[in-house]
Structures are given as structure tokens and as C-alpha cells.
Structure 1
Amino acid sequence: MSHYVYILRCSDNSLYTGYTTNLDRRLVVHNSGKGAKYTRSRLPVRLVYYEEVSTRSEGLKLERSIKKLTKEKKEDLVAGFDLGK
């Protein structure tokens, strides 16, 4: 099973970080208004970063470390990411 940590860009230009095992489904859920409470009032959202990891534990640790970054550091992470990878 794949595990992903992702960053979404919300309509107000804020960034949301999350964890999932199905990236496509999770993006649909967020944009349907049934995702995280934070994103519901900031629709639409778009995927701007993701990283695949091998275990749930690794994914949750990475999510936590990204959430601790400053907005500037998150913007740097997103800017250096190519969605076509």
C-alpha cells in the first residue's frame, strides 16, 4: 500500500498539509467540501506537492515535520516540486 504526504494550495493562497493512502480520492474529497474542516471554506484546492513514503508511520512523521515548517519554508518546498515526477 502506498502512503502519501501532500500539500494543497487553497483558494485564499494558504497551504494545507495532509496524509493519505489514496491521493486522487483525497483530492476529490477535499474539493467536494467533505475533507478537512480547514479546507472546506477555502475551496477549490489544488495539489502542489506530494511525497510517497513506504509506511504509515513514516508518512505521519513527515506530515508532522512539514506542518512545523514556517510558511516561507513550505513555499520553498512547493516551489522546488515538479508535479510531473
Structure 2
Amino acid sequence: MTAPSKPWYVYLIRAANGALYCGITDDVERRFAAHRTGRGARFFRSSPALAVAYVESCADRREALRREYAIKRLSKASKEALAASQLPA
């Protein structure tokens, strides 16, 4: 019997210039910290990471990669709508 896989997450991070960066990880807090310190993605070299704007849980890495691909194909307005969907009420 195979042990259940750990969850993976698709996330959007807001950069200082207003852009949204999409990625996947198995630990959102650790990954955000890496982006904040410049060890994450080159994307944040020109505009620092400010906040996690959206997180979506996926069953496994494969599902997370598929969802990341779908989100990256969305328009800026659609990505903003995703981010707005998780704002506190």
C-alpha cells in the first residue's frame, strides 16, 4: 500500500510593481520566504515579493503543475479575480 502523498499548492504572489507571480510548492510559507530573500525566482529581482495573494491546494505535484499551467494562461483580470476571491471578508 502506498502512503498518501503530501499536498501541493498553487500560489500567486503579489510583487511590489503589482504583478502576480504563479508557482507551485509543497510549503507555501517556506517558498514565500525564499522569494522575499531573493532565493526564489528571478522574477522578484526587479520587484520584490510583497504578499501571498492566492493559495489553492492540490492532491499531488502533477495536479499542481496542471493547475499552474492553467492559471498562467489566464488573463491578468482573471488572475486578479482569483486573488480577490481569497481576500478576508
Contact kept, 8 Å, 1:8 with 1:17, in 2: the verdict is yes
Cα distance in structure 2, aligned partners of 1:44 and 1:51: 18
SS in 2 for 1:74: helix
Determine which structure has more spread, i.e. the larger CA radius of gyration: 2
Question: Which residue matches 1:34?
Answer: 39
What CA RMSD, in Å, does the superposition of the two structures yield over aligned residues? 1.5
Q: Which structure 2 segments of 5+ residues have no match?
A: 1-5
The Cα offsets for residues 21-80 of structure 1, whole Å up to 9 and x where unpaired, read as 111100000000111111122113210100011111100000000000000111111111
Length-normalised TM-score, structure 2: 0.88
SS at match of 2:49: coil
Identity of aligned residues (%): 36
Aligned pairs (5 A) from 1:17-56: 17-56=22-61
| Residue 16 (str. 1) matches residue 21 (str. 2) | yes
Query: Where do 5+ consecutive residues of structure 1 fail to align?
Result: none
Runs of 4+ in 1 over 2 A off after TM superposition: none
Aligned length: 84
